[in-house]
A and B are shown apart, each in its own frame.
Chain A
Amino acid sequence: MQPNTSSPHGHGQSERDKGAAGAEDADIRTYVTLMLADQLCGIPVLLVRDVLAGQQIARIPLAPPEVAGNLNLRGRIVTAIDLRQRLHLPPRSAANKPMSVVAEHGCELYALLVDQVSEVVSLRATDMERNPPTLPPIWAEHSVGIYRVSERLMVVLDVERLLKLELMMAA
């Protein structure tokens, strides 16, 4: 999936058309949208190295619960982090296979397991709002802000915090 700044369609549609560039170019942020436990989320596209589906994940004995295992990405070993576990959300059912968003952090590659990855949206930086008080604390902790996207809230995930080792549960 190639990141692009053209107008998206379908799920997570932006309200404004970015075609009229002009003075707003500097303020446009592009996100990869994804679904996690029925919550729409976004990750800045520049942090995303790859999006994968149907990966063979080898489990790692004695790893912390949010580490789903290892996978082989073109010869590099990538650690898979199950975001549902990480955010203490209920586990996904066995029938639903996760998709992965591969991000880099501290010279290591991590595959963030999510339910579904949608497309790339471009939004105006000025539209980003602070986390509303109604946002459940588990999301608030790992979000840098939210966007209102066609009557839904899109939580912008704080990838750095998600991958912060010290915060992960020890085995």
Chain B
Amino acid sequence: MDDLLPEFLTETNESLADLDLALMKLERGPDDKATLSLIFRLVHTIKGTCGFLGLPRLEHVAHAAENVLGRVRDGELVATPEVINLVLAALDRIKLIVAGLAATGTEPAGDDTAVIAALDRACAGDITPAQAPAHLPAETAETPDAQPVQETPAGPQTIRVTVDLLEDLMTLVGELVLTRNQLLQLSRAEGTTAFSAPLQRLSHITSDLQEGVMKTRMQPIGHAWNKLPRLVRDLAQETGKKITLDMRGQDTELDRQVLELMRDPLTHMVRNSADHGLEIPEERRAAGKPETGRIMLNAYHEGGHIIIEVSDDGRGLDVARIRDKALSKGLATEAELAAMTESQIRAFIFRAGFSTAAAVTAISGRGVGMDVVRSNIERIGGTIELTSTFGAGSCFTVKIPLTLAIVSALIVSAAGERFAIPQISVMELVRVGHGNDAKPGSGQSAACMAIEHIGETPVLRLRDRLLPLISLGPLLRMDGTQAKAASTTVVVTSVGSGLLGLVVDEVFDTEEIVVKPVAPILRHVTMFSGNTILGDGSVIMILDPNGVARSAGVSSRSSAASNEGETQSFQSDERVALLLFRAGNEATPLAVPLSLVARLEDVAVSKIETSANGYVTQYRGRLMPLIAMNEAGFQLGRRMSEGDAETAQGNGAAAEPTQPILVFADGDRCMGLMVDAIVDIVHDRLRIEIGGARRGLLGTAIIAGQAADVLDTSHWLTVAWRDWFGGEQTASKARQRVLVVEDSDFFRQLLVPTLSAAGYDVTSVGSATEALKMRDAGLRVDVIVSDIEMPDMDGLGFARIVRESGPWAELPMIALTSRGSPEQIERGREAGFTDYVQKMQREALIESLRQCLDARTGQLDHAFA
């Protein structure tokens, strides 16, 4: 009996899982003969095997259930929810007994008479009201040992393999990869020898083997979802709501390890949706929604990651309630909350202990959920984002790496030690020189990238953004050779949704490495996500850019504001890089977010000229207006003594007075704010405590321990250029936003940089349906550029939908096409396009954009006039 038992347990557990799903299916479609016979067959098999193995309890319960199912199959009984409940109750009892059997080897003692009696009564036609489905304490029924390679009953043959064996294979393959790398490295040093060709072959075989073994670890995500339909059904019954569960992408495969880690978070999110998100039928009817609420699960691959979306069409997140709760729990002050965007406020639900549920139910509301979900996801290197519309629903988007074990990494060196940075985080590499030797304000071309220093803080100007830099050596407290080399490299990495520059000594190459977890004693060092052995046998640490950013105090979770079309994103609960300076002869220093500043210049006074409009200077071939913050008493070139004396001496040009300027740029326009002295760059929270009463200032905040006035950047920008913001009253982003809809990747990649260089903020999507999704998600743009010939929905259809209704109905739309006959142009105009441009004509497109947007602002001006 002993050797038969494990087989029996495995098979029965699988059958039970299948039965759950099948019964759900049957409930939705009681006439589904195929499902019905499947169910009957499975129960019959269980009963038969139990009898054969001498398991009386199981046999009796299964027999009773089989009787009921038999009558359903013969048409004498209808599969109503009550009947289904009874069968489910029987299955639950069977699960319980099987669990006991798995634990001890014999059937546990127990009394099933109630369950059996209910089933027998149902058989006789007396269906007692549905009993509350028994909640099993823990699903221990799954034996962790066996795992089928494929699930299809008919079709390719399958074989059972224990998980341990696969793990061993995986480890061996990992070792093989490392040894192969070692051999390749040695052979590279030797040049071409008799070994080279066989080694190449070996290398290919190893790669293929690696791929194959990785595949064995892949499981469809449906496995993590298979309990959810039952869960949702039970929740629906308990709460009295009507809920359907839509699952898409069940076949999306991911690593077994990752799958296990995702089970609980996904279950939790679905529970939340069912419990808190979806409303009861009356409420839904009142809100004009269909009575049945939907929870949607969607999984798909995207660039080395798995994206899982859990969304519902329920009531969405109530930002006001979250704000109140945050306030009452002391998580933020009024002032902070006032400065936050809606999505930042929503992010409070990820804090520990946070729950706006009025009542703590057995299901959720204890407030221990979402923070654990987020930390579980982040532990495996994933991210979770939340979008929600009050009244319409919420959507959680989880992004997790496809595999944890073997990754591509860039090998760099800093302070004499080598490190690996996962290739996925690396955005670009920039070669820099140390720019303090360069003459300031001499209008250097952008090709010469220089690290500029403000006080002690290095920054890099990268395409009109100031990028915070971190030197790895000092950060890791290594006192290696701090040689001020002529040139170093900055590795631009993505952290959260922002960028961070890591200054390293040297960059080597990209290698495939086997990630080994750090020893437990080093787990607290968040900067490392693992370690590995290189081809030459040396052990190096793998850096985690997010951990580095956190340690350096650089904000690693900047809000993805673009979807909201939000205005200035002062993140008052995150630390941002702030530039401190003095101007207007005030004792209090001034502060401005570094990200708004395009450049810091020190212009020789002799280069500043006066014109009828005020001070100007020639800057990069154009005239840049210079504004002084405090007109009265302003003196050109006068500087305060902080640190500038040394700079002047260091320059060796102490004789020539210079004027420090903060340059703000947007496309063609630039403006210089003349200041007295640049003090420092600090990383701190921006919390405006006292609202600004004076023009030109937003208020006062405490930055780096002292009071500082916060600059109202938009005010000064409009002083310089009255129409900086195109005549719109709000302090919105200066750059116009373009949406590009184009299905050809290649063409999209051509187009996007062209438009960015022309000064637009570009969002690009690959299909019209995606564009509409983003519209519904709240994306705000100023103009749409769309291809006509696209699969699924073409440009004309898209234009019609956009023009029909919705937030984009009035926007200028430009059509891109490879053909341009008059009929087509006419059809395009009919569909709603404002203009028509040939695909390859860059200049024409830019011109058209400008015209359309100018025309629009003209209209708006009229509207406001």
Q: A72-B538, A72-B539, A170-B524 are in contact. Are A61 and B477 (CB under 8 A)?
A: yes
The answer for the CA separation of A106 and B520 in the assembled complex, in Å, is 9
A-B complex: 3 closest residue pairs judged by Cβ atoms: A61-B476, A70-B539, A79-B519
The answer for the CA separation of A71 and B531 in the assembled complex, in Å, is 11
A60 to chain B, nearest CB (A): 6
Which one of B476, B525, B539, B541 has the highest number of Cβ atoms from chain A below 10 Å of its Cβ?
B539
Interface presence of A151 (CB below 8 A): no
Q: A56-B538, A72-B538, A79-B519 are in contact. Are A62 and B525 (CB under 8 A)?
A: yes
- The reply to whether A70 and B531 contact each other, CB–CB distance below 8 Å, is yes
The answer for the CA separation of A75 and B178 in the assembled complex, in Å, is 8
Interface 1/0s, chain A 45-69, versus B by CB < 8 A? 0000000000010111111100101
The residue of chain A having its C-beta at the shortest distance from the C-beta of B521 within the complex is A165
Interface 1/0s, chain B 181-195, versus A by CB < 8 A? 000000000000000
- The reply to whether A165 and B520 contact each other, CB–CB distance below 8 Å, is yes
The residue of chain A having its C-beta at the shortest distance from the C-beta of B472 within the complex is A61
- The reply to whether B521 and A64 contact each other, CB–CB distance below 8 Å, is yes
Residues of B near any A CB (own CB < 8 A): 175, 178-179, 417, 476-478, 516, 519-522, 524-525, 527, 531-533, 537-541
- The reply to whether B537 and A72 contact each other, CB–CB distance below 8 Å, is yes
Contact sample, A vs B, 15 pairs, CB 8 Å cutoff: A56-B538, A58-B540, A60-B541, A61-B527, A61-B541, A62-B477, A62-B525, A67-B521, A67-B522, A70-B539, A72-B533, A72-B539, A77-B532, A108-B520, A171-B524
The residue of chain A having its C-beta at the shortest distance from the C-beta of B418 within the complex is A58
- The reply to whether A63 and B525 contact each other, CB–CB distance below 8 Å, is yes
Interface presence of A144 (CB below 8 A): no
The answer for the CA separation of A86 and B417 in the assembled complex, in Å, is 24
The answer for the CA separation of A60 and B533 in the assembled complex, in Å, is 14
| Contacting residues, chain B, for A171 (C-beta < 8 A) | 524-525
The answer for the CA separation of A67 and B520 in the assembled complex, in Å, is 12
Number of interface residues of A (CB under 8 A): 23
| Contacting residues, chain A, for B527 (C-beta < 8 A) | 61-62
| Contacting residues, chain A, for B417 (C-beta < 8 A) | 58-59, 61
Q: A61-B477, A75-B175, A75-B178 are in contact. Are A168 and B521 (CB under 8 A)?
A: yes
The answer for the CA separation of A72 and B477 in the assembled complex, in Å, is 24
| Contacting residues, chain A, for B531 (C-beta < 8 A) | 70, 77
Given contacts A63-B522, A75-B178, A77-B516, 14 further A-B contacts (CB under 8 A): A58-B538, A58-B540, A60-B541, A61-B476, A61-B477, A62-B477, A69-B539, A70-B531, A70-B539, A72-B539, A77-B532, A168-B521, A171-B524, A171-B525
| Contacting residues, chain B, for A70 (C-beta < 8 A) | 531, 539
The answer for the CA separation of A165 and B522 in the assembled complex, in Å, is 10
The residue of chain B having its C-beta at the shortest distance from the C-beta of A75 within the complex is B175
The answer for the CA separation of A71 and B264 in the assembled complex, in Å, is 36
The residue of chain B having its C-beta at the shortest distance from the C-beta of A81 within the complex is B521
The answer for the CA separation of A27 and B167 in the assembled complex, in Å, is 40
The answer for the CA separation of A67 and B531 in the assembled complex, in Å, is 15
| Contacting residues, chain A, for B522 (C-beta < 8 A) | 60, 63, 67, 79
Which one of A58, A61, A75, A168 has the highest number of Cβ atoms from chain B below 10 Å of its Cβ?
A61
| Contacting residues, chain B, for A59 (C-beta < 8 A) | 417
- The reply to whether A77 and B477 contact each other, CB–CB distance below 8 Å, is no
The answer for the CA separation of A60 and B477 in the assembled complex, in Å, is 10
Interface 1/0s, chain A 74-110, versus B by CB < 8 A? 0101010000000000000000000000000010101
The residue of chain A having its C-beta at the shortest distance from the C-beta of B175 within the complex is A75
B809 to chain A, nearest CB (A): 55
The answer for the CA separation of A75 and B476 in the assembled complex, in Å, is 26
The residue of chain B having its C-beta at the shortest distance from the C-beta of A108 within the complex is B519
